[in-house]
Amino acid sequence: MKLYKILIGGLSLMAILQLTSCNKLDTLPTDRFTDENFWDYPDNAEKMVNMAYNQLYSADRMWNDEALSDNIFEGRSNTDQRAIRNGTADPTLGRFGAEWSDLYGGIKTCHVYLENVERVPGMDAALKKRRIAEVRFIRAFLYFRLVNFYGAVPFFTKDISLEESKTLPRTEKATIMAFIHQELDQCMADLPNRDALPVDDRGRITKGAASAFQARAYLYESNCGVATFEWRQI
């Protein structure tokens, strides 16, 4: 009888340990963020927006762009920039591949933010609207740079998987430009004027920046009449 009780007790203890172990396996990690808990923290959402800003443009990209023209003489042995500047570049140039990767990386950041920002708890409604407009502006700018580098490119407005990316055809430049104009028109309504920005937010995208970008986009399409109108609105 004692042996029977010991055996039953041992089996019960083993069952409890197994159940406890299973629960631990299902517990989310506490030493890092995951897809499940990343958006539970408003600071993470802000960091995502800041990353999108960095992917929009940077000092390095500005100087590298200037070196593609005669605005800056690049004395170092950067053969990619020299080939573009001299008009001898071909599609195998490393700069073209790097631009493609960087720009689509920025677009992915924008899509991930836009699809998850509603999960952020307690986010001020006005701030959320403004941040969404900023990210849509950034996405439009990245597509603008893509079509001016490559013409027709794969175009999508949601986050996609690696497998999906391999099946996307190129979309004509005119279609993407129409999307850019529409995005900017809509973003302007949710962006503040420069003087309305808090001091800590100076330098962020404003209504004037969206209007200036809209004018630039029309100028690149040789639509000078609309571009002149946009400039007068700033």
Domains of the chain: 31-233 (1.25.40.390)
Given this model, what pLDDT does residue 6 score?
A: 47
Given this model, what pLDDT does residue 11 score?
A: 47
pTM: 0.81
Given this model, what pLDDT does residue 231 score?
A: 54
H helices of 75-119, in order, are 79-86, 94-116
Q: Which residues in the chain come in under a pLDDT of 70?
A: 1-33, 74-78, 225-234
> Cα(132)–Cα(111) distance, rounded to whole angstroms?
10
What are the start-end ranges of the E strands in the chain?
Answer: 153-154, 170-171
Given this model, what pLDDT does residue 193 score?
A: 94
- Over the stretch 88-103, which tens digit does the pLDDT of each residue have? 888 888 888 889 999 9
> Cα(234)–Cα(228) distance, rounded to whole angstroms?
11
> For residue 44, what are its two tokens?
């993470």
Terminal Cα-to-Cα distance of the chain (whole angstroms): 92
> Cα(187)–Cα(110) distance, rounded to whole angstroms?
14
> Cα(129)–Cα(120) distance, rounded to whole angstroms?
13
Given this model, what pLDDT does residue 14 score?
A: 55
Q: What angle do CA 54, 79, 68 make, to 5 degrees?
A: 55
> Cα(181)–Cα(171) distance, rounded to whole angstroms?
16
Q: What angle do CA 33, 38, 43 make, to 5 degrees?
A: 110
Given this model, what pLDDT does residue 66 score?
A: 81
